[in-house]
Amino acid sequence: MSEISGTAGDVVWQSNPPGSIYDYIKVASFSIGPDGLVDQWSGRAAELFGLDAHQVRGRDPVEVFVPAELRRQGHRTVKEILDGKEWTGLVPFRAGERGTEHGLAEIYVMPSETENGDRGALCLVVDVRALQRIETDLASSQAIFGQSPFGFLLFDTDLKVRRANQRFATVFGGTTGEHRGRTVHDYLSRPEADRLTGALKRVLETGDTVSDLQIVGTAPEDQERRHWSINLYRVHSGSGRTIGVAGVGTDVTRRHNAAREAASARRDLALLNEASARIGNSLDLETTARELLGVAVPGFCDLAAVDLYQSLLTGEEAPPGRWGSSGAESGGGSATLRRVAFASAVSDGPLGAPGGSDGYVSPDVGAVHRFPFSSLSASALRTARVQSIPGQSGSLVRSTLAVPMVAHDTVIGLAQFSRTKGSEPFGDQDRALAVELAARAAVCIDNARLYRREHERALILQRSLLPPGDPEAAGLDIACRYLPGNTATEVGGDWFDVIELPGHRTALVVGDVMGRGLRAAVAMGELRTAVRTLALLDLEPAEVLSALDEIARGLGTPSGAQQASRVAHKSRDAELSEVYLATCVYAVYDPVTRRCTFANAGHLPPVVVEPDEAALMLDVPPGMPLGVGGEPFEQVEVDLAEGALLALYTDGLVESRDQPLDEGLSAFRAALGDAARPLEDVCDHVLTTLDTRHGEDDIALLMARIQGLPAEAVGDWSLPREPRSVGRARELARAQLVAWDLEPLVDTVELLVSELVTNALRYGEGEIRLRLLRDRTLVCEVWDAGLVQPRRRRARDTDEGGRGLQLVGLLSAAWGSRRTPRGKTVWFELALPDGDSTAEPTVEQLLSMF
């Protein structure tokens, strides 16, 4: 811009910058000489008419530009002008060298005079079409700028408002003129104004447009946060000069809120899907609570906690949050709770005001506390309704939702979700989502509680059915181990037992009920009881398993069911019966012969380690599992060497998800390589060597070292079938007891041996065999080939006999009979003098037999 100081005072002359109105109007000029011909031709005229000066100068303008039908009038008008008359009007014209372009010009003709006094004319020409375009553009600009429903601003190159439309003034107040000269800092907060200013500068410098620039602010007298979408583009003059930046603003607050609600709904659905996938994967209360917080923080809130009723965690039947028919909660909302989980996504800071009654009164996991009765948290527990707790002064927490955790009409605890300052407050949709999250977690926690209760009961039942401590047996050194699965798995049906049999024999049992949980533990208890009952009958191992198979098949069938009912519920009964399938090894050891008889019902084979030999799996026919039925069981007799090691076990010891059965069995045999060590050390070595910490299944291990009765502890004689054998039996028994220093038992033994040998002579068959066994007790056995079992009965006053077995029952600690491969054996047992001796029968008891 150039400035020239004139001579008339302070008047300052300046040249118009490019892009003035004349750039758009394009005024052309030319002059006509006294002869009526063109003598001067301007550059603008050349642009307007499309002819250069040498093509026009010296020619008649009427002939060149005016159409033929108007030339007559044109010559007359030119003549009048040369006579000194001014003229203005609209004249059609032809343009271009060939005159093919037509237009309409507004011409202002002013007479002139040459220096010689001759008359001429100066013509000013304006293209009417350009004027019409300007008029149209102005009307369009006014319509767009003034009537636009969007806020419209025009910034100059200094980024100051040059013009604002009425819509913008309506939003930000004042008239349109009052906004001239302002900047964006007059309307927006500093961060937003700096961001918009940066965008204006980029558009001004580069010419690149900016679309949908999101700006947040507040309008005067309106505290609601508004969202505007701003579009910016650079504005040029007709000559291409940059004159500023135009900005169009649209209020998109509703669209933003709708998008935010849609995004919130998508977030809520995503959170619920995540909750379905992550919550409840563990049957553990604390783990489930942590899973809930893992979903909620930070996706839903900034910090959260879960408090559960203390009674829930200690295993009581129902927490104090039980709801009755009246809808009132019995616990009053102020019972003792324990914090089981806490999660935070914020930095360290005061989460709650000191001494606060609501919110995070004790964020330490494991802390036991009570909510004051008047607190909102206690109210949430009492009413089972969500309570909004405002943040306290000096706390980072802005607001908290106290959400009762309700499962099966029972309030089991409280979940607290909090957002800190700087986060959006909780809305109604957030409250609904918090209730849904807490409800899902509550059901899972309650299921975990029920599982824990059932697991503990099954564990108690299982422990009560296992032998206490290390059982004792004649001719055996026994050690046993039982390792339950971890708390994440249900209780299994593994069991083992050591049962004393007549004749100082011992039954060793290991079994495994297929299935888990309380039903498996109950089935295990029933089968164990059945095994003990069958063992008292002194049946052969194969017979025991056959009877046990019948019992197992009946466990899953409802008693008293009719055949039609069983058919109608065939699938259900089959499902129940499957739970009671079991495997079992039953072995009977005789310490006199050091012989062990095995029978197997689908269980893993026993392992024997002979002295200085490698471990060997016994080839015992496996048979079918108990409860399948239809197949007989076989038994195998094995002679065991003195000092040999016998191991019975369940599959949890040798099989897991990461270890195949063959590898586990090989590792087990290798772990038994050094069997000469003390038996307890061997057990510990096996459990230390093998993978017993997988926790997938219970582990039962029963080990026994063979220690047969020494020959001097056994008295064995054969007696002929004749009356004098009764006296001979008394003499042999007396001599053996004296040799064993058991003189206090001589009289009793002589009397009872006489009764048993007499019965064998009277009711039995074949040769008679008398055997005395001394171990922890004294056992006397009388064998014969007869199959008729003795039966104790009460003799009448007139009966001459029938009192022998009554006498045996009174004087002995125990007595009984059992079948043998070649007949039967009748036996009685007496405590040793230095043990718990049996009380002598009273006179009344003796007289009652007669």
3-state secondary structure 529-545: HHHHHHHHCCCCHHHHH
Six-digit token string for 570: 């065939």
Prior bond to 18 cis, omega within 30? no
- DSSP character string of 183-244: -GGGTS-HHHHHHHHHHHHHHHHH---EEEEEEEE--TT--S-EEEEEEEEEEE-TTS-EEE
CA angle 320, 324, 329 (to 5 degrees): 45
Q: Is 711 exposed, middle or buried, given 0-12, 13-18 or 19+ CB atoms closer than 10 A? A: exposed
Q: 3-state secondary structure string, 431-493?
A: HHHHHHHHHHHHHHHHHHHHHHHHHHHHHHHHHHHCCCCCCCECCEEEEEEEECCCCCCCCCE
Cα(208)–Cα(704) distance, rounded to whole angstroms?
92
Of the candidates 837, 824, 821, 814, the residue with the CA atom closest to the CA atom of residue 536:
814
Which residues lie below 8 Å from residue 308, measured CB to CB, with a gap of 6+? 285, 289, 319, 337, 338, 340, 405, 412, 413, 445
Q: Where are the alpha helices (DSSP H) in 556-701?
A: 563-568, 570-579, 661-671, 679-689
Six-digit token string for 211: 């679309």
Six-digit token string for 688: 């230390």
Which residues lie below 8 Å from residue 541, measured CB to CB, with a gap of 6+? 586, 587, 588, 597, 598, 599, 633, 635
Of the candidates 670, 628, 664, 632, the residue with the CA atom closest to the CA atom of residue 649:
664
Q: Where are the alpha helices (DSSP H) in 642-745?
A: 661-671, 679-689, 724-739
* The pLDDT of residue 571: 46
* The pLDDT of residue 138: 67
**Distance from the Cα of residue 570 to its chain's centroid:** 37
Residues of the chain with pLDDT under 70: 1-24, 96-101, 137-147, 238-239, 315-334, 347-363, 455, 458-459, 461-470, 485-492, 517-518, 556-579, 693-696, 791-803, 835-850
Cα(438)–Cα(296) distance, rounded to whole angstroms?
10
User: What residue type is 528 in one-letter code?
Assistant: R
* The pLDDT of residue 4: 46
Among positive and negative, which fits the CA dihedral 260, 261, 264, 266?
Answer: negative
Q: Are strands 777-784 and 823-831 parallel, antiparallel or unpaired?
A: antiparallel
* The pLDDT of residue 842: 53
- Which residue, chain included where needed, has tokens 């004139």? 6
Cα(77)–Cα(771) distance, rounded to whole angstroms?
166
* The pLDDT of residue 231: 92
* The pLDDT of residue 200: 92
Q: Give SS3 for 317.
A: coil
* The pLDDT of residue 330: 47
Give me the residues paired with residue 248 across strands.
Answer: 152, 231
* The pLDDT of residue 142: 67
Q: Give SS3 for 594.
A: coil
Cα(221)–Cα(172) distance, rounded to whole angstroms?
9
Name the strands in the sheet holding 607-609, side by side, starting at the edge strand that comes first in the sequence: 476-483, 699-706, 645-649, 607-609, 616-617
Phi-psi region of 33 (alpha: psi -120 to 50; beta: other; left: phi over 0): beta
* The pLDDT of residue 69: 83
Six-digit token string for 408: 């099966």
CA angle 395, 396, 402 (to 5 degrees): 85
